Amino acid sequence: MAPAYKLTYFAVKALGEPIRFLLHYGNIEFEDYRFENENWPEIKPHMPFGQTPSIAICRYLAKKVKLAGANDLEDLEIDAIVDTINDLRLKIATYHYETDEGIKESSKKTLLEETIPYYLTRLEAIVKKNNGHLAVGKLTWADVYFVALLDYLDSMMKINLITDSPNLQVLQKNVLNLPGIKEWVAKRPVTKY
């Protein structure tokens, strides 16, 4: 029988990787369909809004693999931190994909000196006081989302974002050791992002 799910994404980790992490964690079979950049123009018109709704898909899969909250209030806490991580991702991506070199340099400075320290200090403090997790004191898809996205964020900034965040480092190690995810990371295709 063919897998029930097919993930259509670029041949990179980026926003596809949290989805892949959740599917592998839940031991859910799926077709990991990767297209090349040059094929994007022919695929894009078939996407409802020219892109993939990655966070909505992650939230859906999180329920399937039991990494959602135990109640509405827990889901609120998880959703808020996931949106926060995504805000940071968007700020970094806006810099990374900027084509004007002057604007890009100035954005880089703001990111390195202000934005990234601001977010990372707060995320580190949350994990420290929260039993080693980003939300509700236990493993949720917020942890998986953050760790799966980290390679992409690091690649765009050309730094290790959590180098001064020991609690986030432990979280990363723990997520990368989860059953399903550990095996996936060991065998996944090597990509730039």
Question: Based on CB atoms, which residue is closest to a second copy, 105 or 183?
Answer: 105
Question: Based on CB atoms, which residue is closest to a second copy, 127 or 185?
Answer: 127
Q: Which of 146, 176, 174 is nearest to 161 (CA)?
A: 146
Asked if 58 and 79 touch (Cβ cutoff 8 Å), the reply is no
Nearest-approach distance from CB 75 to a second copy, in angstroms: 7
Nearest-approach distance from CB 53 to a second copy, in angstroms: 4
Question: Based on CB atoms, which residue is closest to a second copy, 7 or 176?
Answer: 7
Question: Based on CB atoms, which residue is closest to a second copy, 13 or 69?
Answer: 69
Residue 168 CB partners (closer than 8 Å, separation 6+): 120, 123, 124, 127, 146, 162
Nearest-approach distance from CB 25 to a second copy, in angstroms: 17
Residue 93 CB partners (closer than 8 Å, separation 6+): 156
Output phi, psi for 33, to 5 deg. Answer: -80, 115
Nearest-approach distance from CB 171 to a second copy, in angstroms: 18
Site residues (vs a second copy, CB under 8 A): 48-51, 53, 55-57, 59-60, 63-64, 72-73, 75-76, 79-80, 83-84, 87, 90, 103, 118-119, 122
Nearest-approach distance from CB 154 to a second copy, in angstroms: 20
Question: Based on CB atoms, which residue is closest to a second copy, 108 or 182?
Answer: 108
Q: Which of 34, 31, 41, 40 is nearest to 4 (CA)?
A: 31
Reading the block at residue 41, the tokens are: 């123009």
If one counts every other C-beta atom within 10 angstroms of the C-beta of residue 18, the result is 26
Q: Which amino acid is at 61?
A: L
Distance CA 164, CA 125 (A): 12
Nearest-approach distance from CB 79 to a second copy, in angstroms: 4
Q: Which of 52, 45, 64 is nearest to 4 (CA)?
A: 64
Question: Based on CB atoms, which residue is closest to a second copy, 70 or 90?
Answer: 90
